[in-house]
Amino acid sequence: MHIHILGICGTFMGGLAQLLQARGHRVTGADANVYPPMSDQLREAGIPLTEGFDPAQLEPAPDLVIIGNALSRGNPAVEAALDRGLPYVSGPEVLAREVLAGRWVLAVSGTHGKTTTASILAWILDQAGLDPGYLIGGVPLGLGRSARLGSDPFFVIEADEYDTAFFDKRSKFVHYRPRTLIVNNIEFDHADIFPDLEAILRQFHHLIRTVPGTGRIIVPAGDVNVDRLLAMGCWTPVERVGHAPALRAVPLAADGSAFRVEEHGAPVAEVRWSLVGDHNLANGLAAKAAARHTGVPLTLGAEALGTFPGVKRRLEQVGEVRGIRVYDDFAHHPTAIATTLAGLRRRVGDRPIVAVIEPRSNTMRMGVHRDRLAPSLAAADRVLALQPEGQDWSLAEALASLGPKAEVFDSVAAIVARLAATLVPGDEVLIMSNGAFGGIHRRLLEALDGRP
């Protein structure tokens, strides 16, 4: 069957394309900007790409059109598919039908930590000698790709609460029907589609309803919003991790890079790994508990954590020039910004941290979190921020409480020039955005290296 995907270069749709190709389908796709890293993965997989949404790409007509959730009415290719009566579906729907049916689905949900936790879980299963399938909204460094079909029953899916498509406003994760479900945490986010936290909790409740009574739901102990969710109704055994007497991590290093795993107060194993921060201890514990549900012993899960190489764009060091280290991180919500900074602070001690931020997400651009932005950046020694074009609230006013350590710029070039003129050996530069940020990482490293 020939399947054409509109909006193929996002991590979810690009991963889905590779899974469908592995299932034997002929897959093509298009996007407004055919951009790496997904465009590189797709080209390596031999999946033809079209730049833009000219209706001509639907001639001859494919057997099925998958429409990404970033596309809506008015898009030329979408309008052509509707006018011609072509069969069309959402990505989550076809994933459930073509890939997840008959699999043991392990879904990782929550406001924060989904990509890292799903990557750790897939890594544990892989290192246990299994061949799990997975679809993750990032690139696990040890596994190399964001998606794999796998030959074993187990399939790890990053379960996002964002809506499915312009014609299906349910959260994507209600399509997945997991047997093992992780709910990392719940906060208000995605203000462009959810009016309040209650609306988000309602979608998570729909997800809870799909988990069978013989399955398992893994949650952090003491998360108020997760507890509210479970109080709405739950028909599945719940495992709480993070505090005694449950499965918990006892730090052996201040930055969280070493810890002891305990259960019911008894030591299980010691772990030394590449990640830092309390949030990653929570991510690792949840992944270990989910892997145990499939039969992987905790001790084997702990061994796998020790070799986990990390995830692209999750506090990833992308370069070092003249003693100045540059990191890339996906943080775009105040909670994620604060936890990422806390993790880096524990890693680098007293070395100066220079935070560079682009408030790019829809929720940020709407100003929903503007009052929380400055407190989330308090741990940085300097803050450089990009005022997004067209944003109707002042970033300088939002960061005013940080005083002279915060600067706001109207272009990436201006930020790079300022950094190149002021950074000194020993500085740690943490760049945070959920987008490409104008290629700032490469441009800064080149500027520090004296290249044009």
Q: Name the domain count of the chain.
A: 3
Are 121 and 171 contained in the same domain?
Answer: yes
Per-residue pLDDT at 366: 66
- The side-by-side arrangement of strands in the sheet containing 258-263 is 248-251, 258-263, 266-272
Per-residue pLDDT at 146: 87
Are 227 and 331 contained in the same domain?
Answer: no
Tell me which H or E stretch contains 239.
Answer: strand 238-241
356-412 tens-digit pLDDT: 998 877 666 666 778 888 899 999 999 999 988 877 788 888 899 999 999 999 999
User: What gap in Å lies between CA 132 and CA 152, rounded to an integer?
Assistant: 5
Range of the domain at 261: 102-307
- Residue 51 backbone phi and psi in degrees, to 5: -85, 120
Q: What's the CATH code of the domain at 22?
A: 3.40.50.720
Per-residue pLDDT at 50: 93
Given pLDDT bands bounded at 50, 70 and 90, which one contains residue 254? Answer: confident
Are 322 and 182 contained in the same domain?
Answer: no
Per-residue pLDDT at 411: 92
101-126 tens-digit pLDDT: 999 999 999 988 899 999 999 999 99
324: closest CA among 183, 427, 439, 174? 427
User: What gap in Å lies between CA 367 and CA 353, rounded to an integer?
Assistant: 25
343: closest CA among 303, 397, 379, 391? 379
Per-residue pLDDT at 436: 80
Lowest mean pLDDT of 87-101, 137-151, 284-298, 360-374, name the range.
360-374
Are 66 and 157 contained in the same domain?
Answer: no
Q: Which distant-in-sequence residues (6+ apart) come within 8 Å of 374 by Cβ?
A: 398, 399, 400, 401, 402, 406
Are 184 and 210 contained in the same domain?
Answer: yes
pLDDT surpasses 90 at 339? no
Are 149 and 248 contained in the same domain?
Answer: yes
Are 26 and 150 contained in the same domain?
Answer: no
The residues that bridge with 49 in the sheet, in sequence order, are 29
Q: 3-state class of 131 per DSSP?
A: coil
Top pLDDT among 335 and 165 is at 165
Please give the mean pLDDT across all residues of the chain.
91
Q: Helices (H), strands (E): how many in the chain?
A: 15, 23
Quick one: residue 254, left, alpha or beta (phi over 0 = left, psi -120 to 50 = alpha)?
alpha
State which of 307, 338, 356 marks the end of a domain: 307
User: What gap in Å lies between CA 19 and CA 217, rounded to an integer?
Assistant: 26
Given pLDDT bands bounded at 50, 70 and 90, which one contains residue 18? Answer: very high
Are 369 and 397 contained in the same domain?
Answer: yes
